[in-house]
């Protein structure tokens, strides 16, 4: 993930550990030089995000594959600037250029591996019903728009910058809603997710995250084209 000329500046120990892990994962020998291309460089991401960015069984490392490139770029830039907080990502990206972040984003956006199997969601029928209502209808009394109004009715995202919600673990979704609520994750103004998250109760977060995580695997995970949504998105958000 490191650019040429910056190898002495970006968390060398962390990069070394990641490199050794990905070499082990690929069954490669330290004596076998790997080709210097974007696919090889992105192997450093595989211990956390899986081969081709399909995710892992760790609840808190999300799938990157197939998400809109602009969305991925904005997240990488947020980690680089410290606007989004997670120390390993902050260290790894601190000195990377916009050009390199965009190349990383384009690589993962182009990958379409199958979704990993997920454990069953253990929620009551009432909780799942509440989660479905929030996701598909929102809650007008609380000023909460439906998830589908931004992320599309199939929840696979919208180009250029709104991510899909299919295939994410409930703990990850819950953690991100909490991060938006408390300001440890932010988006460019208008920050629509912060607007939504502060209106959700803890019970609503649990219900919504569980229902989204329980959605069946879809054959087509491709985000909808830009301009596909008929109704305007709340807050004018573009998913930055």
Q: Both 39 and 138 in a single domain?
A: no
In a domain, 5, yes or no: no
Residues 6+ apart with CB under 8 A from 21: 46, 47
Flag whether 209 is in a domain. yes
Instruction: Find out whether 144 and 199 touch, Cβ atoms under 8 Å.
Output: yes
140 and 226 inside one domain: yes
CATH number of the structural domain spanning residue 103: 1.10.760.10
Q: Are residues 168 and 134 in the same domain?
A: yes
Provide mean pLDDT across the span 152-156: 93
Given a contact cutoff of 8 angstroms between Cβ atoms, the answer to whether 116 and 50 are in contact is yes
Residues 80 and 180 in one domain: no
Provide the residue range defining the domain that includes 62.
12-109
CA distance 96 to 94: 6
Rounded Cα distance, 180 and 171, in Å: 14
Residues 6+ apart with CB under 8 A from 102: 69, 73
Which pLDDT belongs to residue 34?
A: 72
pLDDT value at residue 237:
45
- Residue 199 confidence (pLDDT): 96
Closest Cα partner for 71 from 29, 101, 114? 101
Angle at 98 between CA 93 and CA 99, to 5 degrees: 115
13, pLDDT greater than 50: no
Looking at the structure, do residues 148 and 231 belong to the same domain, yes or no? yes
Count of the separate structural domains present in the chain = 2
With contact defined as beta carbons under 8 Å apart, do 63 and 49 qualify?
yes
Does residue 114 fall inside a structural domain? Answer: no
For residue 235, the model assigns a pLDDT of 60
20 and 49 part of one domain = yes
- Tell whether 92 is covered by a domain: yes
**Token digits for 44?**
């450093």
Q: Over the stretch 173-229, which tens digit does the pLDDT of each residue have?
A: 999 999 999 988 888 777 889 999 999 999 999 999 999 999 987 767 889 998 887
Q: Are 84 and 75 in contact (CB under 8 A)?
A: yes
pTM of the shown model: 0.80
Residue 60 binned pLDDT confidence (cut-offs 50, 70, 90): confident
Q: Are residues 131 and 105 in the same domain?
A: no
Residue with tokens 């949504």: 229
149 and 234 in contact (C-beta within 8 Å)? yes
Is the same domain home to 100 and 140? no
Crossing angle of the two packed helices 125-136 and 202-213, in degrees rounded to 10: 90
Question: Band of the pLDDT at 151, cuts 50, 70, 90?
Answer: very high
- Residue 154 CA to residue 228 CA, distance in Å, equals 12
Q: pLDDT confidence of 10, banded at 50, 70, 90?
A: very low
DSSP state string for the chain: -PPTT-TTTS-HHHHHHHHHHHHHHHT--TTSPPP-SHHHHGGGGHHHH-GGG---SSTTS---TTS-HHHHHHHHHHHHHTSS--HHHHHHHTT--HHHHHHHHHHHHT--PPPPP-PPP---HHHHHHHHHHHHT-BGGGTBPPTHHHH-TTSS-BTTTB---TT--HHHHHHHHHHHHHTSS--SSS-HHHHHHTT--HHHHHHHHHHHHTSPPPS--PPBPTT--SSPPGGG----
The answer on 90 and 184 residing in a single domain is no
100 and 134, same domain (yes or no): no
């Amino acid at each position: 993930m490191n650019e040429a000329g910056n190898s002495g500046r970006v968390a060398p120990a962390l990069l070394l550990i990641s490199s050794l892990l990905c070499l082990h994962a690929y069954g490669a020998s330290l004596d076998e030089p790997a080709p210097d291309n974007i696919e090889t460089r992105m192997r450093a991401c595989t211990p956390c995000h899986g081969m081709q960015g399909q995710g892992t069984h760790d609840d808190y490392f999300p799938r990157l594959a197939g998400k809109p490139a602009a969305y991925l770029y904005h997240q990488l830039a947020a980690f680089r600037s410290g606007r989004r907080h997670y120390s390993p990502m902050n260290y790894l990206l601190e000195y990377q250029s916009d050009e390199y972040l965009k190349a990383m984003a384009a690589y993962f956006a182009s990958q379409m591996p199958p979704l990993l199997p997920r454990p069953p969601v253990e929620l009551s029928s009432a909780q799942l019903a509440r989660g479905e209502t929030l996701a598909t209808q929102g809650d007008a009394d609380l000023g909460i728009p439906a998830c589908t109004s931004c992320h599309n009715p199939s929840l696979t995202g919208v180009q250029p910058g709104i991510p899909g919600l299919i295939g994410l673990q409930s703990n990850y979704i819950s953690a991100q809603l909490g991060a938006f609520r408390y300001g440890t994750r932010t988006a460019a103004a208008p920050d629509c997710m912060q607007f939504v998250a502060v209106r959700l109760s803890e019970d609503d977060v649990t219900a919504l995250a569980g229902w989204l995580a329980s959605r069946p695997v879809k054959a087509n995970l491709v985000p909808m084209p830009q301009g596909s949504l008929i109704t305007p998105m709340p807050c004018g958000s573009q998913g930055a």
